[in-house]
Chains A and B, each alone.
Chain A
Amino acid sequence: MTTVSVAGLRVSYGNRAVLDDLAIELGVGVHGLLGPNGAGKTTLMRVLATVLRPDRGEVRLLGHRTDDRVGLRQARRRLGYLPQAFGFYPRFTVREFVEYFAWLREMPAARIPLAVDRAIERVGLRDRADDRMKHLSGGMLRRAGIAQAIVNAPRVLLLDEPTAGLDPEQRVEFRTLLRELGRDAVVLVSTHLVEDVAAACARVSLVDDGRLVFAGHPEGLIAAGGDGDSGDSPIERGYTAVLRGARQVSR
């Protein structure tokens, strides 16, 4: 059962195609989205988050086509999204911030207070729940961002570079949270940290130059690498090997 399905996706800025004829299918579980900077990871995330309209192609979220108004609204209720860069309203407390997004995602009013509390607790910000956002550190802001993305118990959760700004201990905690969330939701995590994928993702997709060049289990990516490939870990060697292979084919 795939719950996210993309076919023939094309997105271009001006004349430059950022994503070109990309197809991807995602089921329940934690998926890592890897790729060099500028490969189109964030663009793909933004299309899936229904923030960016593709030039061409079909996007289905939870069975709803995103170009259908009614279906889109249904899908958005079960969507959680953390962009790579996000701001905040400085006067908001963490609780108000998370509550605001619970409301925006049309959660039943009676369930919002408890859901907000749980989301804040899951990211470990319980003690700071009533602090203003402007008094939080970078890592705490990132965690508050994750809390707003999970408050509606999303079926599709999109996290763009969620580990940026987290210290090593927090990253380990975050991976545990990811695995929990991936039990009953599609979780897509874009990252340029290959180790994050090896540690927390059941499947991995690799995007290069707007195309999907690898999709499978992390072991598959590891197996692609050989001793001659550059990288400090087996999965990094697999990553560079797959990229090199894809670039040779396209030439």
Chain B
Amino acid sequence: MTGEHVSAQVLAAYAEEQLTDGDAESVEAHLDSCDACRASLPPSEAVQRVVASVALALDGLLSTPGRLRPGTGWRRVRVLVGAAPAVRAAWLLSVLVTGLLILGLAVSPRSLPPWVLLLIAPALPVVGTALSYGPRTDPLHEVVAGTPQGGLRIVLWRTLAVLTVATPVAVLAAVVTGISTPLMWTLPGAALTAGTLALGSLIEPTYAAAVVAGVWAVVVLAPSVGGLAVVAASAPVWLAVTGVAVVVLYARRDRVGRQAG
């Protein structure tokens, strides 16, 4: 074995004490003088268990330095929401502008036809959702996609953050326009958001959002189906759309938020 290195198979056999005494001795003699082979010697199961338990025990004994930030639930939420790119200036601004439009409508009802609000308010979460994940809009998509919480879980957290901001705007729009009830305004919003997520498991999320927003515009503006009837009497349709989207989302949950860039 002089001049040569020990093969990985022999090292593994040595670590598991499967070698004869003579072979083990010559392996040891080589290990004494060879850094490279010593470095590739795998620790045995028993040694790994000891190391892990010592590490665990030490963790408890070591004093925690004063610089540490405690891992409070509030801090976690802040980090989670802060990481959602949707909760960013551009999108928040559009939510704010919509809110102002609604207030403007409340003050002078003639300044703006109500269908404009119907076009915008339920589509806000679609845009926010699309902005919050995917290789195009999340600067850390690549790393996040390789983590156990990445994919569907983190996408749902971010969607929740988006809906928290966007839903009050839809409710406000319902109240100000006086068309139907607030619940009827949020139903299309939920259906469109779920639809975006489901379609986003098939194609790139930003494209998915564009398709969903386009379909919504057609529905709202089309003379035959459209207009304000969309929110007035179509709850079963939106519930059905939401249901189908959730089923697709569940079936393709491994793909959500994990597409290659």
Contact = CB atoms under 8 A, between A and B. Distances in A.
Nearest to A102: B71
B79 interface: yes
A117 B71 CA distance: 12
Given A25-B8, A117-B67, A49 B146 contact: yes
A112 B64 CA distance: 12
B83 interface: yes
B149 A103 contact: yes
A63 to B, nearest CB: 12
Nearest to A25: B8
Contact of A101 (B40, B69, B70, B143): B143
Question: What is the size category of the interface that chain A forms with chain B?
Answer: 35 or more
Contact of A113 (B8, B39, B70): B70
Nearest to B135: A51
Chain A contact surface mostly: mixed
B260 A28 contact: no
A195 interface: no
A34 interface: no
B68 interface: yes
A217 B5 contact: yes
B8 A104 contact: no
Contact of B82 (A30, A87, A89): A89
B230 to A, nearest CB: 36
A69 B254 contact: yes
A86 B82 contact: no
Contacts of B43: 28, 184
A83 interface: yes
Contacts of B143: 81-83, 86, 101, 148
B82 A1 contact: no
Given A1-B12, A29-B39, A117 B68 contact: yes
Nearest to B41: A28
Given A96-B82, A104-B149, A87 B42 contact: no
A110 B76 CA distance: 12
Contacts of B260: 46, 51-53
B59 interface: yes
B261 to A, nearest CB: 8
A30 B76 CA distance: 33
B206 to A, nearest CB: 16
Nearest to A13: B260
Given A88-B140, A89-B85, A114-B68, A106 B5 contact: no
A129 B67 CA distance: 9
A29 B71 contact: no
Nearest to B153: A104
Interface string A78-93: 0101110011110110
A48 to B, nearest CB: 9
B15 interface: yes
A113 B83 contact: no
Given A110-B71, A113-B69, A184 B145 contact: no
Measured as residues with beta carbon below 8 angstroms from the partner, the interface class of chain B is: 35 or more
Interface string B7-34: 0100010010000000000000000000
Interface in B146-166: 146-150, 154
B79 A28 contact: no
A27 B139 contact: no
Interface string B77-115: 001101101000000000000000000000000000000
A64 to B, nearest CB: 12
A27 B82 contact: no
Contacts of B85: 89
A126 B154 CA distance: 28
B70 A79 contact: no
Contact of B15 (A1, A88, A95, A202): A1
A103 B81 CA distance: 13
Interface in A42-86: 46, 49-53, 69, 73, 76-77, 79, 81-83, 86
B148 A76 contact: yes
Interface of A: 1-2, 25, 27-30, 46, 49-53, 69, 73, 76-77, 79, 81-83, 86-89, 91-92, 95-96, 99-101, 103-106, 109-114, 116-117, 126, 129, 148, 182-184, 202-203, 217-219
Pairs of residues from A and B, 10 with the lowest C-beta to C-beta distance, nearest first: A87-B139, A104-B147, A1-B42, A76-B148, A202-B39, A49-B146, A104-B149, A83-B142, A113-B68, A29-B40
23 contacts: A25-B8, A27-B8, A51-B146, A53-B260, A73-B148, A77-B148, A81-B143, A89-B83, A96-B79, A96-B82, A103-B79, A104-B147, A106-B148, A109-B76, A113-B68, A113-B71, A114-B68, A117-B67, A129-B67, A202-B35, A202-B36, A217-B36, A219-B36
